[in-house]
Structure 1
């Protein structure tokens, strides 16, 4: 009984020691380049708190559903305000990265500064990519089922502009330029900050993690992790 009492006092005085032996699990969108960056950022951030993390890639809808249900500890990353639709999730208010929605074309005469410039015929997007669907709005566009199809359509001149996330596009643009011996022109249409979400059962961690992420942001660590990964993508192709 005395040993149990001492153990309880020790846990009360040193709660971080208990966390150090825990492993928190997060879902994420499978095969996502942005997940790679977010995982590297958050492994370092949680590591500074003495916490290990494990990440499980799943289809997008299942990942967010499992995070919201409490089956795991949260979602690795999503765009801002996802918690408005999934109320059991709490957004950590410091971005763990950014996603750039870009328009890519073979036409040097097209100038694209934002969604409003996609009034040209022949805009193509991928089915299920929410930022692209929202960005093009009610415009008449062609919808395909994969990123490879987007670039195939561009090469066959069936699309004048394709809309895709920048990191996702990197290996595909390099392969396209090599195959078709032509230049591609890329413009950022919108930048989306990406945030980490915790299930409400982990609410006490939100301010602690936000403080660490803010320190990493100030140090330039988050940007450095992103740039290192982008360099890896270019080196692999």
Structure 2
């Protein structure tokens, strides 16, 4: 009976998580349906290539990504804000930023003069589930909607079913472009600008200094900035998803 139980658990794990074709392949989880994470994927894939380590990116919901990365079921978290290390001590931060997150509130253009940051708490506000920055910003808000994708949130906003969407500058701009929205605008300047980092589960902590050195080199040479600019241009002009090639 015990053998059958372990066999069942093995089958469940194989089904639930991406396979590692080789022992040295790292599986990195990330938030699904986010253009920002697509860009981070290019950056980190190139960084790992310089170490000779293949990586497999596993997109899932924001909350589940943190659960499986912090528990060691996968090897790390692709890109998160700095506060993550305070709440998930098993995730070790690579201390060189790989992206920058600019938090922005989006509203319908017709409502821009009536909405200010101070009255958002009483309005219908949407954000992408599992985004720590958005969860912190909307803490105490009365009427929240946690969406599964940026396009879902911006469709609801354009249709008048949400009053505002809390997003980041990259994901927001791309969702607006993808949906062809002309009546959705930022509510002023970004409410927060902060660096984002790659995280590894503590079992892979030995790789942190090497990755930090590589990212520092890429940042210093301007390569990171160039990757972001090229990927954004490809997305906005409809040339398809960016690639790591």
Out of 222, 225, 232, the position equivalent to 1:223 is: 225
Among candidates 97, 100, 105, match of residue 98 of structure 1:
100
Unaligned runs of 5+ in 1: 1-20
Instruction: State the match for 1:117 in structure 2.
Output: 117
Shift of 1:31: 2.5
Residue from 169, 174, 182 that aligns with 1:166:
169
- SS at structure 1 position matched to 2:208: helix
Q: How does 1:1-237 map to 2 (within 5 A)?
A: 22-107=24-109, 110=112, 117-119=117-119, 122-126=123-127, 128=129, 129-143=131-145, 145=147, 147-148=150-151, 150-157=153-160, 159-174=162-177, 177-178=180-181, 182-186=182-186, 187=188, 188-236=190-238
SS at match of 1:77: strand
CA displacement, residues 2-47 of structure 1 (integer Å, 9 cap, x when unaligned): xxxxxxxxxxxxxxxxxxx932221112232222111111111122
Give the secondary structure class of the aligned counterpart of 1:78: strand
Distance in 1 (alpha carbons) for counterparts of 2:178 and 2:207: 43
Q: CA RMSD in A?
A: 2.9
Is contact 1:119-1:139 (8 Å) kept? no
Aligned length: 211
* TM superposition score normalised by structure 1: 0.75
Does the CA contact (< 8 Å) of 2:158 and 2:183 recur in 1? no
> CA 1:212 to 1:150, structure 2 compared with 1: closer, same or farther past 3 Å?
closer
Structure number, greater radius of gyration: 1
- 1:33 to 1:22, Cα distance in 2 relative to 1, 3 A: same
Structure 2, unmatched stretches of 5+, are: 1-22, 240-245
2: distance between equivalents of 1:127 and 1:210? 28
